[in-house]
Structures are given as structure tokens and as C-alpha cells.
Amino acid sequence: MSTATDAGREAVADWLAASLNRPDNAHQEWADNGVAVLALGRRFSAYRLADELVHAVGANTGPATTSLILRTLGGPVIHDPRGHRFYVLVPSSPPAQNLGPYATYLGLGNYLGVPRVEDDEPGEAGASYWAVPMKRPGALCSPPAVTGLINAGTAALTGQAD
């Protein structure tokens, strides 16, 4: 691993940890547990998407893989294989309306278990990992792209035409 990569990952970890009043707590949780519980709604928020929502978009777009679909959102995505959920990190702002049954906006007052920035592959234990890693501090997903994915997935799952 290169020094630039290490420095970039450290910068991302520091930025994420700063969502807490005591950022050192996040670094300690990552060291001890591999996951830190971070506050949402200050630096970033998240959309929780059911696995089936994301997979439904893939089924309707032909050979596109889940990874390719998630990369179109323009920012970081965490996958929780145990909970069968994706967490799409977005700027803190009001949520999109009418999210449907497969998506939930998590903002101020919510917390999210965030894996170490270097955990970007599914592990044997089924722990959360970065399905799409954060490239640089503050680089988050596009809310309109997330809304588009939610709408497309919901339409596919409910049999509605676009």
C-alpha cells in the first residue's frame, strides 16, 4: 500500500470521525471493533436501502452488477450483509419525499455503524464493509442520483412502469 493511499485513508477516517464531539472515540472503536458508531446529520446523513431495492435495479438494467450501479451514485456506500442493507452517505439535508417501503432517510439524531476505511471487501464474518469506498473527505453521494435509484428500484419491486 502506498503512502499516498495511507494518507488519503487517514484523511477520510479523520473526516468521518469528526462527526462526533470526540473524534478519538471513533478511532478507538475502529481499532477495537472494526466499526465506529458515528453521528448522522452534522457532516453527513445516510439513506438505508434494502438489498432487494438495489438488486431490483440491477435486474432491470441487464448485465450491470450491484457494484456498478452503486458507483453511479457518485460517492460512498456501506453494505451490511447481515442486515441486508446498503447505507448511502449523502450531504446532510432534508430527505427526498415518498421514499417508499424499501428506503429510509437517516439524519440528525441517528447513528450509523461505519467500518474502517480500509474494509472494502466482504469479510468471512459478514461484517459491514465499504461497497463503494469514500475517495476523499467530504465526497458524498448525489441525492438526486440516490432518489433516482430508489424510484427505479421501487418501481421494479412493485411492478410499476416508469
Q: What is the pLDDT along the chain (162 residues), one digit of tens a residue?
A: 445 588 899 999 999 999 999 999 999 999 999 999 999 999 999 999 999 999 999 876 655 688 899 999 999 999 999 999 999 999 998 777 778 899 999 999 999 999 999 999 888 788 899 999 999 999 999 999 999 999 999 999 988 654
The number of residues in the chain equals: 162
pLDDT at position 6 is: 85
Q: What is the DSSP letter of 72?
A: T
pLDDT at position 63 is: 52
CB 52 within 8 A of CB 102: yes
CB 145 within 8 A of CB 73: yes
DSSP string, the chain: --HHHHHHHHHHHHHHHTTSSSHHHHHHHHHHHSEEEEE-SSS-EEEEEEHHHHHHHHHHSTT--HHHHHHTTSS-EEEETTTTEEEEEE-SSPPPS---TTEEEE-TT-EEEEE-TT--S--TT---EEEE---STT----HHHHHHHHHHHHHHHHT---
Domain limits, the chain: 3-158
